[in-house]
């Protein structure tokens, strides 16, 4: 249910049609009547027993006002209210699909979990460029600690331990999340319209990491390919015995000794050393050319 132009025009058996602006949408959903418990249960039974999509549509439409109420509770995260409502509407539709009329609870009581879950996911994806909460414990801290910090500011050790105990996490996790929430995103590069008095962007003073510099990585890869080709060509110019001695002395996992190779070729260890040195000189000459 898109909220790009989210005012509602309701017609019989149809979902709201998006026209106008967000204020018009909110006014329109607030005018929709709340279903009675009997109406809600009857519609839910029709959906469950007969897969009646009109019944599902009606359940969604007449509970949209509750999504707006929940979304307003998350307005302090700096994200567009319309986007929060849109995500909450997705949660409402998921809840309607799973709602069991025999549970003897109202749909809104059941749906609030799904509505909040969708909004939480949206907030965590979009609140910061860098993710601030990736584990279950961090998510719990994110939504609980942010409210606590509005009241407490920076917390002392006793307050940290109290929050950790209440949320069932370690004090270190509380302090880590507090530090994350206290930082703000910074653009890596300065905007084109910034004047000379603006603070320097990180791109101006952060040193480049040579290990991850794409240009240097391409250069290294190109050099490695070139070196492998030259080494393969140079080895191909050696006789079979010289190649075997080099491979046995330098490339094998269990390197052979001069005496072991001397026994293999029925020559002296000194002769093996001479053959090895001559082969290495040829390889060096090939790379120097």
> At residue 79, what are phi and psi to the nearest 5 degrees?
-100, 150
Is residue 83 situated within a structural domain?
yes
Categorize the per-residue pLDDT at 9 as very low, low, confident or very high, splitting at 50, 70 and 90.
Answer: very low
Identify whether the C-beta of residue 18 lies closer than 8 Å to the C-beta of residue 3.
Answer: yes
108: containing domain: 7-126
Q: Do 120 and 140 belong together in one domain?
A: no
Q: Do 95 and 113 belong together in one domain?
A: yes
Structural domain count of the chain: 3
Q: Do 100 and 168 belong together in one domain?
A: no
26 pLDDT higher than 80? yes
Tokens of 27: 């006014």
Last residue of a domain, which of 126, 145, 161?
Answer: 126
Is residue 199 situated within a structural domain?
no
H-type helices in the chain, by residue range?
A: 22-31, 37-50, 53-61, 64-72, 81-98, 107-126, 136-152, 157-167, 171-182, 202-205, 214-236, 240-246, 258-265, 269-288
Higher pLDDT, 249 or 153: 249
CB atoms within 10 A of CB 243: 15
Identify whether the C-beta of residue 170 lies closer than 8 Å to the C-beta of residue 176.
Answer: no
Is residue 197 situated within a structural domain?
no
pTM of the model: 0.48
**pLDDT for 62:** 96
> At residue 97, what are phi and psi to the nearest 5 degrees?
-65, -35
User: What's the mean pLDDT when you consider all of the chain?
Assistant: 79
**pLDDT for 228:** 82
**pLDDT tens sequence across 107-125:** 999 999 999 999 988 887 7
Q: Do 230 and 251 belong together in one domain?
A: yes
**pLDDT tens sequence across 142-188:** 777 655 554 445 667 887 788 788 878 888 887 777 766 665 555 65
**pLDDT for 19:** 44
Last residue of a domain, which of 88, 104, 126?
Answer: 126
């Amino acid at each position: 249910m898109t909220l790009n132009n989210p005012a509602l025009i309701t017609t019989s058996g149809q979902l709201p049609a998006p026209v106008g602006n967000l204020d018009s949408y909110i006014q329109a959903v607030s005018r929709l009547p709340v279903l009675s418990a009997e109406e809600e249960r009857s519609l839910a039974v029709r959906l469950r027993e007969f897969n009646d999509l009109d019944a599902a549509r009606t359940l969604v439409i007449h509970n949209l006002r509750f999504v707006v109420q929940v979304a307003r509770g998350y307005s302090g995260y700096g994200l567009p209210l319309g986007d929060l409502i849109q995500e909450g509407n997705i949660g409402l539709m998921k809840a309607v699909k799973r709602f069991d009329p025999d549970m003897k609870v109202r749909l809104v009581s059941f749906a609030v979990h799904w509505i909040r879950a969708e909004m939480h996911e949206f907030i965590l994806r979009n609140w910061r460029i860098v993710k601030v909460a990736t584990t279950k414990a961090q998510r719990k801290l994110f939504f609980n600690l942010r409210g606590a910090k509005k009241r407490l500011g920076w917390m002392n050790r006793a307050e940290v331990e109290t929050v950790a105990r209440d949320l069932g996490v370690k004090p270190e996790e509380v302090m880590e999340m507090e530090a994350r929430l206290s930082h703000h995103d910074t653009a890596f590069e300065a905007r084109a319209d910034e004047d000379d008095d603006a603070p320097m962007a990180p791109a101006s003073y952060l040193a480049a990491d040579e290990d991850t510099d794409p240009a240097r990585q391409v250069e290294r890869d190109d050099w490695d390919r070139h070196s492998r080709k030259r080494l393969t060509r140079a080895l191909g110019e050696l006789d079979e015995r010289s190649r075997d001695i080099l491979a046995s002395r330098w490339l094998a996992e269990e390197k052979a000794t001069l005496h072991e190779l001397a026994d293999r070729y029925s020559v002296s260890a000194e002769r093996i050393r001479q053959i090895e040195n001559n082969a290495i000189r040829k390889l060096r000459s090939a790379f120097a050319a």
